[in-house]
Amino acid sequence: MAAINHHRLTSQIRLAGIILALTILAPVALAANLPKDRADVLYHSYDGGGIQINGPSVLVRKNIKNKVSLYGNYYVDQVSSASIDVITSGASAYEEERTEYSLGADYLYDKVIISISGAQSTENDYEASTASFDISQEFFGDMTTLSLGYTHGDDTVSEKGNESFEAELSRRRFRLGINQILTPKWMLGLSAEAVSEQGFLNNPYRFVHYLNSDGSAGSQKERYPSTRNSDAIALRTIYRLPNRASIRGEVRNTSDNWAIKANNFELRYLQRYKEQWTLQASIRSYNQSQASFYSDLFEYSNAQEFLARDKEMSKYSSLTLGLGVYYEVERKWWSHIDRTTINLQIDHMRFDYKNFRNATGRLDGSSAYSPGEEPLYSLKANVIRFFVSVFY
């Protein structure tokens, strides 16, 4: 039952890990320089809501004549799920594995960096291929950086046990960003993104619930629109504090044509301790409204053209608290390499759903509550990312 929801969840975890690896100990100033030669070995783990996801990732990057930087990444998700989505659909707990391969290159010309990349991921009922192009250039004495990017993805959705079902999904993502160094200690960034998706956008395993005339609950498969357009704008800032500390903040707002509006706020504090240790504390809050065609319990069968009961389409909020510890190994132990860091990041997440109910006994009548009166659902999850970075 992984399909689209598992693909989205693991993509978010993977992106968070990549951002973490690239930003830890990064200076405030930006420059048109290629990334350093490095190798990263990552272990990631997610545990919450009846879902466990874990696996390794390996990234290797190598420069050629200080003009081209090549990299490759291998990423694995091993999934075990007995989530509320599985239970309320009548399915059994499942286990599966998702693998992803990606390759990319960055080319430096004067103050311009051109980046291209591609990725291919496979699991037993979902395949995704993605290609990206980005370009950035510095202006005004290297104080301003403008970036443009485009990503195109083609996915294939299938359904276990139904050989006749196969659907396509096309994704296009446009992005624009500007970073401005305001002072030697302060940087401000503004970015905008537009996403267009077309094709099969719901989960082939998921059902909605509705009331029968006798007061019991029935079920039928979800039906989503075949297109979705969303826009996001984000403001980010980094400020270097005294005593080798820095603070980073982000405010992001998103809206789409399904009537979902979301905003999140994130704050990170980093403190360098002695010469080898860096500590980080973070907090992130997220709030969203529901999709226009979402309902926890519809009044009757085929109540409207489009039907959704995915909890990620409901109204909900989340809060994430994070702690990180990063250690830089002394060079005397690794004389043949430039730098080695050992990094651990732990995030605790809580999700509170405002109109999605814990209806695990709704369809078979085993619940002590009448349909539509069950308690609201919430879950807690922990995300662990442990990685070693070697710069050579």
Calculate the alpha carbon distances from 231 to 174, 194, 254, 266 in Å: 10, 5, 6, 19
Report pLDDT for 141: 87
* Continuous segment of H or E residues that includes residue 172: strand 166-183
Burial class (CB in 10 A: 0-12, 13-18, 19+), 299: exposed
Q: Report the percent of the chain where pLDDT is more than 90.
A: 79
The amino acid that residue 156 corresponds to is: T
Q: Report the percent of the chain where pLDDT is more than 70.
A: 91
- Do residues 136 and 110 make contact, with C-beta atoms less than 8 angstroms apart? no
Rounded mean pLDDT, 234-243: 96
Report pLDDT for 233: 98
CA–CA dist 135, 147 (Å, integer): 6
Report pLDDT for 26: 42
pLDDT (tens digit, 9 = 90+) per residue, 73-129? 999 999 998 888 888 876 778 889 999 999 999 999 999 999 999 999 999 999 999
* Both structure tokens of 337: 């390499």
Strand partners for 352: 317, 378
pTM check: above 0.85: yes
pLDDT reading at 8 higher than 60 = no
* Top-confidence residue, 33 or 136: 136
Q: Where are the alpha helices (DSSP H) in 213-259?
A: none
- Do residues 262 and 289 make contact, with C-beta atoms less than 8 angstroms apart? yes
Report pLDDT for 18: 46
Domains and CATH numbers, the chain: 3-391 (2.40.160)
